Chain A
Amino acid sequence: MRTRVFLLLLIAVAIAVFFATRWVNNDYVFFAGYTVLQFVVLATAWNILGGYTGYVNFGSAAFFALGAYSTVFLHKLYPLPIPLLIVIGGGVSGIVGLGMGYLTLRLRGAFFAIATLALAVVLQTLIVNWDYVGGSRGAYIIRPNEIALIGPYIQYLFLLMLALAVIALTIARGIERSQLGYGFATIRDDELAAEASGVPTLRLKLIATTLSGALMGMAGAPFPYYIGYLQPSSAFGLEYAVNSIAMPMIGGTTSWVGPLIGAILLGSLQQIATVTISSAVNLLIVGLLLVAFVIIAPNGIVGLVQGWIRRTK
């Protein structure tokens, strides 16, 4: 299937999802759906670096928060429409991703992961001490109740996140089938052999960190409008770092379907748990599922299904 056909199909699905949600006509569905979609974007973004090239990023929350805080900063400076804020947030996070890549990509395995975690801590400290964006007190973003054409503001935010999910998935799938995808896979498998085969490994890794960071920032940019009150501990929350790793791992890291399945499954489960049990139980669910999958199905749900297809053939 060509990328253009895939994109059209995805857009059709997104429109169907939007109208189905509207038909339910319950604000909560939009609130919960927004969070799930946000995780679809984050998990897909994480997977571009973590799944395709094999570099595990523990600092997803930092990129997400950068997007969110770019919005807060600009909101105070001069209010802009959210789609523009998404582009700016993506730009900021992408540039930081590029810089982080340049500094840390000489490291492999656990060392790279630790470096990304350190980046998140450094950035959080910076934000906490930056009064203009609210410092440790946090910042209020008062959003309008309604927006023209669509109606309730939450539906507008939901629609934006839906569009971002479509973009992220199209990019991920496009990479998989392109020369870039082959290059990323060789980096994951054996960097020395990749170089010997003519793959410019450093450049490709920088492309991956930039793209991955930019998409995470884009997911974070509308967040202040969604939550209304942004503080460092919520933007840099552990749940973003953990979820964006766990979702692709549980879904399967080798293809774009994995993070999508993982995010929908885990994201929905967490939303249900929040309403029925307690919001504190969220990370417990993620942790237990991750442990179970690492033991039983290390290649995630996609790997499980692929193995099953191979056996029955």
Chain B
Amino acid sequence: MAGTLLEVTGLSKRFGGFVALDGIDLNVAAGERVGLIGPNGSGKSTLVNCICGTLVNETGNVRFDGETVDGLLTHERTRRGMARSFQLPRPFTTLTVADNLRVPLLYTVNARPGRALSPAELDTRCAELLQLVALADKGTHLPRDLTQVEMRKLELARAMAAEPKLLIADESMAGLSQSEVDDIVSLLIRLNERGITIILIEHIMRAVMKFSQRLIVLVSGKKIADGLPDAVIRDPEVERAYLGQ
């Protein structure tokens, strides 16, 4: 398929006897905004971990940007343009906020062939990223001085620093207030307008509906729906999964 950025086929993952993911197929086109929802324990984070290489899937393939990435380590996938934020923010606690962003710049952007940022360019790039997520005045602070929403923003900014083609945001809004959620959604839409494909994993339906151009639903490790958001949430099978019969 032309313009496909991410292509997952027949992906399965089990933990002992528990089947966490069962033959997942999904495609994401370049430039798309996709929402991924599902009840707790449906395998959303496991899917992200398999796509990013944190977990190894038993069967199935992941193709990214026209290449098979099976067997590649996480950092190799990151270098190819796959970035993620974590469900619970995992900042580098002993580095300053600005240095947290410097790490992906050094190890991802500079590691790609044909370009190396000078120290001055690195500084400007860090400042730009901080500006983007409205943390410009926190650059010299340690992550422990940040509020919860700022921590989420740092998490997104760090994923962004790697200049990804695909950004997977894993529940980056859980526990935030309504205005903070709107804040992050508009940030994600701004990033998408810069040409970054985004998969948003989220429980907050208001955010998902506002953000997504397409919605995918996972239930018990199976994909049960994939289509336009309005149509998907009216799907009787999806209603059954969320509300019971």
Of residues 209 through 265 on chain A, the ones whose CB sits less than 8 Å from some CB of chain B are 254
Q: Which residues of A contact B102 (CB under 8 A)?
A: 182
Given A182-B99, A182-B103, A182-B106, does the pair A198, B111 have CB atoms closer than 8 Å? yes
Residue of A nearest to B95 (CB): A185
Q: Which residues of B contact A186 (CB under 8 A)?
A: 92, 95, 103
Cβ of B167 to closest chain A Cβ, rounded Å: 12
Which residue of A183, A189, A192 contacts B54 across the interface (Cβ within 8 Å)?
A192
Cβ of A176 to closest chain B Cβ, rounded Å: 12
Residue of B nearest to A188 (CB): B94
Give the CA-CA distance A185 to B99 in the complex, in Å: 10
Q: Which residues of B contact A201 (CB under 8 A)?
A: 75
Q: Are A196 and B99 in contact (CB under 8 A)?
A: no
- A194 contacts the other chain (CB 8 A): yes
Given A185-B92, A186-B92, does the pair A197, B86 have CB atoms closer than 8 Å? no
Which residue of A179, A189, A195, A202 contacts B106 across the interface (Cβ within 8 Å)?
A179
Given A179-B106, A182-B103, A182-B106, does the pair A197, B162 have CB atoms closer than 8 Å? yes
Q: Are B90 and A199 in contact (CB under 8 A)?
A: no
- A126 contacts the other chain (CB 8 A): no
Q: Which residues of B contact A287 (CB under 8 A)?
A: none
Give the CA-CA distance A186 to B102 in the complex, in Å: 11
Which residue of A190, A197, A254 contacts B108 across the interface (Cβ within 8 Å)?
A197
Q: Are A190 and B92 in contact (CB under 8 A)?
A: yes
- A272 contacts the other chain (CB 8 A): no
- A79 contacts the other chain (CB 8 A): no
- A29 contacts the other chain (CB 8 A): no
Q: Are B52 and A197 in contact (CB under 8 A)?
A: no
Q: Are B91 and A197 in contact (CB under 8 A)?
A: no
Q: Which residues of A contact B74 (CB under 8 A)?
A: 195-196
Q: Which residues of A contact B73 (CB under 8 A)?
A: 195, 200, 202
Q: Which residues of A contact B111 (CB under 8 A)?
A: 198
Taking residues whose C-beta sits less than 8 angstroms from the other chain, chain B's interface range is 20 to 34
- A142 contacts the other chain (CB 8 A): no
Q: Are A189 and B95 in contact (CB under 8 A)?
A: yes
Q: Which residues of A contact B93 (CB under 8 A)?
A: 189-190
- B165 contacts the other chain (CB 8 A): no
Given A189-B92, A189-B93, A190-B92, does the pair A196, B83 have CB atoms closer than 8 Å? yes
Residue of B nearest to A201 (CB): B75
Q: Which residues of A contact B92 (CB under 8 A)?
A: 185-186, 189-190, 193-194
- B153 contacts the other chain (CB 8 A): no
Q: Are A198 and B79 in contact (CB under 8 A)?
A: yes
Cβ of A37 to closest chain B Cβ, rounded Å: 29
Residue of B nearest to A182 (CB): B103
Question: Contact string, B220-236, partner A, CB cutoff 8 A, digits 1/0?
Answer: 00000000000000000
Give the CA-CA distance A193 to B92 in the complex, in Å: 8
Q: Are B95 and A197 in contact (CB under 8 A)?
A: no
Question: Contact string, B107-121, partner A, CB cutoff 8 A, digits 1/0?
Answer: 110110000000000
Q: Which residues of A contact B162 (CB under 8 A)?
A: 197-198
Q: Are A182 and B95 in contact (CB under 8 A)?
A: yes
Tell which of A185, A195, A202, A254 has the most Cβ of chain B within 10 Å.
A195
Q: Are A193 and B90 in contact (CB under 8 A)?
A: yes
Question: Contact string, B69-94, partner A, CB cutoff 8 A, digits 1/0?
Answer: 00001110011000110100011111
Give the CA-CA distance A179 to B153 in the complex, in Å: 24
Which positions in B face A, CB cutoff 8 Å?
52, 54, 73-75, 78-79, 83-84, 86, 90-95, 99, 102-104, 106-108, 110-111, 158-159, 161-162
Contacts A183-B106, A198-B79, A202-B73 known; 7 new A-B pairs at CB < 8 A: A182-B102, A186-B92, A189-B91, A190-B93, A196-B74, A197-B75, A197-B104
Of all A-B residue pairs in the complex, the 10 with the closest CB atoms, nearest first, are A198-B108, A195-B74, A198-B107, A193-B90, A189-B92, A197-B104, A198-B78, A190-B90, A179-B106, A199-B107
Could you list 28 A-B pairs, sorted by A, with CB under 8 Å?
A: A179-B106, A182-B95, A183-B107, A185-B92, A185-B94, A185-B95, A186-B92, A186-B95, A189-B91, A189-B93, A190-B91, A190-B93, A193-B90, A193-B91, A193-B92, A194-B103, A195-B74, A196-B54, A196-B74, A196-B75, A196-B86, A197-B78, A197-B104, A197-B161, A198-B78, A198-B103, A198-B108, A254-B94
